Amino acid sequence: MSTAHLFRPFGRFTCRRRITLSLPRTGTSRSYSSITESVEDSISTNAESDQDVLRKKRRTEWKRRQHGQTFLDHIIVHVRGGKGGDGCVAFHREKFKPYGPPSGGNGGRGADVYIMATPHLTTLSSVSPRIRGQAGGSGQGTWQNGRNAPPIIIRVPVGTIVRELERDDQRRSKDEYEAEEEALEGLEPEERKKQLRERRWVHYPTYADENFERSFFKEAERSLYREERERRYWRRQKAKTPIHLDLDKSDEPDNDVDLNAPLGHRRPDTMGHLIAAGGHGGVGNPHYLTTENRSPKFATRGWDGERISLSLELKLLADIGLVGLPNAGKSTLLRALTGGRAKTEVAGYAFTTLNPVVAVIRVADDGSFEGSDGAVYDETWAEAQHEKELMESGALADALTRNQAKAAAVDLAYNPLESFRFTVADNPGLIEEASSNIGLGHSFLRAIERSHALVYVIDLSSPAPWDELRVLRDEIEKYKPGLSPKARMVLANKADLLGGASEDGQEDPQAVREAREKLRKLEEFVEREMKAQLQDSSGNVIGERSLDVVPISAKYSMNLRKVIGLMRQYVEEAREGVDPFPKSVALHDVSK
Ligand SMILES: Nc1nc2c(ncn2[C@@H]2O[C@H](COP(=O)(O)OP(=O)(O)OP(=O)(O)O)[C@@H](O)[C@H]2O)c(=O)[nH]1
Ligand SMILES: [Mg+2]
């Protein structure tokens, strides 16, 4: 290849070696030169026409619709605590005791709803969008109280941010009081009063009208409404400080206690964080027994549980996050680093990647990795097209299927002794003014917020790659101040396009000089303007760190060993001293 001059100081490989295109599904490979014409033909004829770009876009969208539900990183959940059970109106009956005392039991408590971070989950897709706590059991005669409903635990992956939706948020569902108001809306005052009473009181059969006339009942009703006003006041106070939890640590208990064990069995200390309390049970008629009223014929119904709407947002945990403008080649790089295993779409238009994709990189003892065989990673569409052509021409008729290949344990699979693994997140492209919600906005950057290190991917073939870097740094800093010093490396991608490669592989000395000059300028810029300030825990600046600049070609898998080596070093440094199995209870930050 004509770009050897750029990589020479960085990598060990020889750039003139034969590059082969391996097709991961079949294992067939053939010389790169023999397939380039067909691939290039298809690119040149297809890339130009708008219709084809549109077709590719439609295909990506179709794929997203097909597979989009398997991974969820944001969901709105409407939660209801269980309703309390109703109190009971009953009188004790016994032989020779015609007028026994009131004996109605109290209702049981409705289910509380908890949220718990667990390391066993990786996506929010198992969380149901509507969660309803079970109602408490109703009280019964002979002083039998109703059963308390078992609590519900919503399990979410570690790294989930839980936010209660604000009162003015359109997506919020009604709380318990608003729901009642809505049900009574438009009713005549008399009818409204009747319904309100119906929702609060249980009467001894046929005694309802008589109860309403009695002063005991009126007194009880006044005191109930007083209590309710108080409750409503506290509920409003509570809503002023919405729930905001950053579940960064596992809440799972240490031992093997069964969280779903029936009541009465030993329970762990923590069930996570209480987010919606169940309603209290109503009280039975003995509660209203006084010296004046010896046979109260009414009891109260259970209270509604709390209703809240939560937004759950998952911050992915990738060790390294790739950040770059659209079309810089981030997805191509991720595919190259994983030997094509990372299923992330690659195409020549902006915003191909719409969701973050996290892939695991496995590194062997000798520094090799799955993509280190020098394969070519073209646009996914072009590869699929090529594979289709091979299929149609019958070239794959005798090829082993994936399962056969596995069974035969042929050396198609990358299977060396793995010595280190880490995760890398590919992100949608970031553009200038993303903070003003231009392009895809910033929302996806949460995926890399918890990364140990960030890596900028820029297009070296663009006229001024340093401008790209400036935009990226500023946007990241705008998104979260203090995030940009996490950047450790600048990958100058598409280096293969520089150097004036001609058909016969000859280098153009003038173009080579220009390419070298451009790289040098980029390095100078990084050294001058991109230095990261290192701070100690109390915020004092303790030094500066320069970023590594590595020219690569993601498409032709060039210089990637060097990249892997550096990434490994960053991850090792960051993991040092970090407890791999943090266990403490997550913060409950209600300050917002
Ligand atoms: N010549 C050359 N082309 C490359 C290289 N890396 C990526 N490309 C091409 O650049 C285009 C964009 O690549 P992607 O990997 O989809 O870029 P991206 O940064 O993921 O883009 P978005 O997902 O839109 O943000 C595709 O046509 C790739 O084939 C490279 O090293 N050399
Ligand atoms: Mg992409």
What does the pLDDT look like over 545-563, one tens digit per residue?
888 889 888 888 888 888 8
> What pLDDT is stored for residue 327 in this prediction?
86
| 559 ligand 1 Cβ < 6 A | no
- Give how far the C-alpha of residue 289 lies from the chain's centroid of Cα atoms, to the nearest Å: 54
| Bridge-based pairing state of the strands 487-493 and 453-459 | parallel
Write phi, then psi, for 39 (nearest 5 degrees).
Answer: -65, -50
Q: Whose CA is nearest to atom 24 of ligand 1?
A: 351
The span from the CA of 27 to the CA of 410, in Å, is: 10
Nearest CA to ligand 1 atom 13: 329
Ligand 1 centroid – CA 422 distance (Å): 23
Cα within 13 Å of Cα(402), Cβ side: 3
Whether residue 557 has its Cβ less than 6 Å from ligand 1: no
Measured by CA distance, the residue closest to atom 16 of ligand 1 is 346
Evaluate: CB of 429 within 6 angstroms of ligand 1.
yes
| More confidently predicted of 293 and 538 | 293
Instruction: Give yes or no for residue 539 having a pLDDT over 80.
Output: no
The 3 state secondary structure assigned to 164-188 is ECCCCCCCCCCCHHHHHHHHHCCCC
**Once rounded to an integer, what is the mean pLDDT over residues 428-445?**
68
Ligand lying nearest the CA atom of residue 498 = 1
User: How sure is the predictor about 50, in pLDDT bands with cuts at 50, 70 and 90?
Assistant: confident
Look at residue 37 and tell me whether its pLDDT is greater than 50.
Answer: no
Asked if residues 124 and 157 have their Cβ atoms less than 8 Å apart, the reply is yes
Q: Is the CB of 348 under 6 A from ligand 1?
A: yes
- pLDDT at position 541: 75
- Tell how far the Cα of 53 is from the centroid of ligand 1, in angstroms: 14
pLDDT at residue 87, rounded to an integer:
95
Is 353 near ligand 1, meaning CB less than 6 Å away? yes
Comparing 262 with 581, which gets the higher pLDDT? 262
Check residues 255 and 591 and name the one with the higher pLDDT.
255
State the pLDDT confidence band at 8, using cuts at 50, 70 and 90: very low
Angle separating helix axes 32-48 and 50-67, nearest 10 degrees: 100
Q: Is 501 in the pocket of ligand 1 (CB under 6 A)?
A: no
pLDDT at residue 139 in the model: 94
Q: Does pLDDT of 24 surpass 90?
A: no
DSSP class of 91 = B
> Domain 4-71+316-575 falls in which CATH fold?
Rossmann fold (3.40.50)
Closest atom, ligand 1, to C-alpha of 334 = 15
Q: Phi/psi zone of residue 397: left (φ > 0), alpha (ψ -120 to 50 degrees), beta?
A: alpha
151 or 431, which is more confident: 151
Ligand 1 atom closest to the CA of 335, numbered from 1: 15
Q: What does the DSSP assignment read for 219-234? A: HHHHHHHHHHHHHHHH
| Every domain of the chain and the residues it spans | 4-71+316-575, 74-314
Of 29-38, 66-75, 532-541, the range with the highest mean pLDDT is 532-541
Q: Check if 331 has its Cβ closer than 6 Å to any atom of ligand 1.
A: yes
Q: Which atom of ligand 1 is nearest to the CA of 377?
A: 29
Mean pLDDT of 500-504: 57
Q: Kindly provide the b/e burial profile for residues 405-432, where b requires at least 16 CB atoms within 10 angstroms of the residue's own CB.
A: beeeeeebebeeeeebebbbbbbbbbbb
Q: What is the mean pLDDT of residues 500-507?
A: 60
Residue range 123-134: average pLDDT?
89
For residue 570, what pLDDT is reported? 87
**Total length of the chain:** 592
User: Residues 184, 185, 191, 193: is their CA dihedral positive or negative?
Assistant: positive
Closest C-alpha residue for ligand 1 atom 12:
327
pLDDT, position 89: 94
- For residues 102 and 368, the model is more confident at 102
More confident residue, 21 or 170: 170
- The single-letter code of the amino acid at 381 is W
pLDDT at 11 > cutoff 50:
no
What pLDDT does 560 receive?
A: 86
- Give the distance (Å) from ligand 1 centre to CA of residue 455: 16
| 282 vs 145: CA distance, rounded Å | 10
pLDDT confidence bin for 502, thresholds 50/70/90: low
pLDDT at 225 over 90: yes
Query: What pLDDT, on the 0 to 100 scale, is given for residue 284?
Result: 94
| pLDDT greater at residue 511 or residue 143 | 143
User: Measured from the CA of 43, which atom of ligand 1 is nearest?
Assistant: 27
Sequence-distant (≥ 6) Cβ neighbours of residue 574 within 8 angstroms: 319, 452, 453
- Say if residues 346 and 377 touch (Cβ distance below 8 Å): yes
pLDDT of residue 220: 92
**Exposed e or buried b for every residue in 168-190, given b needs 16+ CB within 10 A?**
eeeebbebbeeeeeeeeeeeeee
- Our mutation pick for probing the ligand 1 site, out of 39, 327, 445, 557, counting the most ligand atoms within 8 A of Cβ, is 327
Diameter of the chain measured on Cα atoms: 117
The single residue listed with the structure tokens 């997140």 is 425
Ligand nearest to the CA of 499: 1
Q: Do domains 4-71+316-575 and 74-314 have the same CATH topology?
A: no
Residue 554 Cβ < 6 Å to ligand 1: yes
Tell me how far the alpha carbon of residue 539 is from its chain's centroid. 29
Cite the beta strand spans of 294-370 per DSSP E.
Answer: 298-300, 307-314, 320-324, 357-364
Which pLDDT does position 307 carry in this prediction? 93
Q: What is the mean pLDDT of residues 516-535?
A: 83
The average pLDDT across 112-136 equals 89
359 vs 92, which has greater pLDDT? Answer: 92
Of 198 and 587, the structure prediction assigns the larger pLDDT to 198
Closest CA relative to residue 359, chosen from 334, 379, 329? 334
**Ligand 1 atom closest to Cα of residue 328:** 19
Residue to substitute in 64, 332, 455 for testing ligand 1 pocket (most ligand atoms within 8 angstroms of CB): 332
Q: Does the pTM exceed 0.80?
A: no
- Which of 145, 85, 87 lies closest to 110, judged by CA? 85
* pLDDT on residue 430: 79
Q: How confident is the model at residue 106 (pLDDT cuts 50, 70, 90)?
A: very high
CATH topology of domain 74-314: Spo0b-associated Gtp-binding Protein; Chain: A, (2.70.210)
Query: Would you give the distance in Å from CA 403 to the centre of its chain?
Result: 32
Q: Which two tokens stand for residue 315?
A: 């911050």
What whole-number distance in Å separates Cα of residue 470 and Cα of residue 490? 12
From CA 543, how far away is CA 535, in angstroms rounded? 7
Atom of ligand 1 nearest to the CA of 493: 31
C-alpha of residue 287 to centroid of ligand 1, in Å: 74
User: Which amino acid would we find at residue 113?
Assistant: V
Average pLDDT, integer, range 318-339: 87
Q: What is the mean pLDDT of residues 59-79?
A: 68
Between the alpha carbon of residue 157 and those of residues 69, 123, 168, 558, 563, the distances in Å are 16, 6, 28, 36, 30
Mean pLDDT check: name the lowest of 137-146, 192-201, 248-257, 417-426.
Answer: 248-257
Mean pLDDT throughout 41-47?
43
Q: What was the pLDDT predicted at 429? A: 80
Say which ligand is closest to the CA of 497.
1
State the CB neighbour count (10 A cutoff) for residue 236.
12
Ligand 1 center to 321 CA (angstroms): 17
Q: What pLDDT, on the 0 to 100 scale, is given for residue 98?
A: 84
For the chain, the average pLDDT equals 78
Query: Is pLDDT above 90 for 138?
Result: yes
Query: Nearest-CA neighbor of 299 among 148, 90, 135?
Result: 90
Tokens representing 68 are 């989009």
Higher per-residue pLDDT: 414 or 506 = 506
Q: Is the CB of 460 under 6 A from ligand 1?
A: no
Question: Residue 522 C-alpha to ligand 2 middle, in angstroms?
Answer: 23
Q: E-assigned strands of 506-568? A: 532-535, 541-545, 548-551
Mean pLDDT of 475-491: 84
Which of 63, 352, 460 gets mutated to test ligand 1 (max ligand atoms within 8 A of its CB)? 352
If you average pLDDT over residues 349-364, what whole number do you get?
79
Instruction: Please name which of 542, 541, 560, 540 lies closest in space to residue 550, comparing C-alpha atoms.
Output: 560
Counting from 1 in the atom list of ligand 1, the atom nearest the Cα of 354 is 23
105 against 370, higher pLDDT:
105
Taking 70 as the threshold, does the pLDDT of residue 390 lie above it? yes
104 CB within 6 A, ligand 1: no
Mean pLDDT of 210-225: 91
For residue 326, the ligand 1 atom closest to its alpha carbon is 25
Q: Which residues of 14-36 are buried (b: 16+ CB within 10 A; e: fewer)?
A: ebeeebbbbbbebbbeeebeebe
User: In the chain, what percentage of residues exceed pLDDT 90?
Assistant: 22
